[in-house]
Amino acid sequence: MSKKIVSFQGLQGAYSDLVCRQLYKNFKTLACDTFQKTLDVVTNGDADLAIIPVENNIAGRVADMHFLLENIKLKIVAEHYHKIEHYLMAKKNSTLKNIKNVYSHAHALSQCKNNIKKINLNPINYMDTAGAAKFVSDSKDDISAIASKLASKIYNLKILKKNFEDKRQNITRFLVFSKTSHKFSTRKKIITSIVFNTKNLPASLYNALGGFAENGINLTRLESFFVNKEFKQFSFIVDVESHPEIQNFKKALKVLKYFSTKVRILGYYKASSFRK
């Protein structure tokens, strides 16, 4: 029997790859060039699950994911909060004294900014952290990368500094996508994710979300983005603490639909223990 497959965006050794291996130890991981392809391989049946980062407590939301969620055909089936631990790495024969440049993704560089200054390195943007590690491994120069511990193993690099991030509480939230929804008991603590477009009228968002307040349902996330080039219509993504089969949720959803032009449930899933 062939192994199940979980897809992620980036090269082997990316933080998404690390999360895949931790959450789904018996799965084979599939590296993809883009977020769109990461989701498409599940839609097409070439992978069973996709894992995508959606927000970070320091860097904010992940660019482009909102637009993908607007028209996605998959369902969100799980969430995972992962503590990001950055490692400064170089080739086996390199030392800190010989290194001048450090390569990594812009977010990783910004999250290690103070520590980079302390050892007088020159930060250089690279497309992603694992790609930076591979670039260092393939290079003939004495250079370094900031990436995951997994990347150091995959690309045979020596760790010069561990926990290189400036702030220890560096958390990224990941969502897991599947073709089919998972079933959860209404007694479990459940998060339901919804995308909706409001009518272009005064107080439309206030009215649309009013049903959740009236029915005692807590919103844990609310984000907006434009859905057309004229900046005339907003789309919103909300996460609410409720199972979609609970009566109060159904009442709130009815209100949401009345004041919206489009409403779609992206999925429901067990609340991560991190939320406690």
Q: Which residues are catalytic?
A: 172, 174
B/e letters for 251-269, b = 16+ CB within 10 Å, e = fewer, are ebbebbeebbeebebbbbb
How many Cα atoms occupy the beta-carbon half-sphere of 17 within 13 Å?
23
Q: State CA 71 to chain mean position distance.
A: 17
Residues 157 and 145: beta-carbon distance below 8 Å: yes
Please report, as a single letter, which amino acid is at residue 175. Answer: L
Q: State CA 236 to chain mean position distance.
A: 17
The DSSP annotation for 116-136 comes to: HHHTT-EEEE-S-HHHHHHHH
Could you give the residue ranges of the DSSP H alpha helices within 82-166?
A: 106-111, 113-118, 129-138, 149-154
User: Measured between alpha carbons, how far is 270 from 143 in angstroms, rounded to an integer?
Assistant: 43
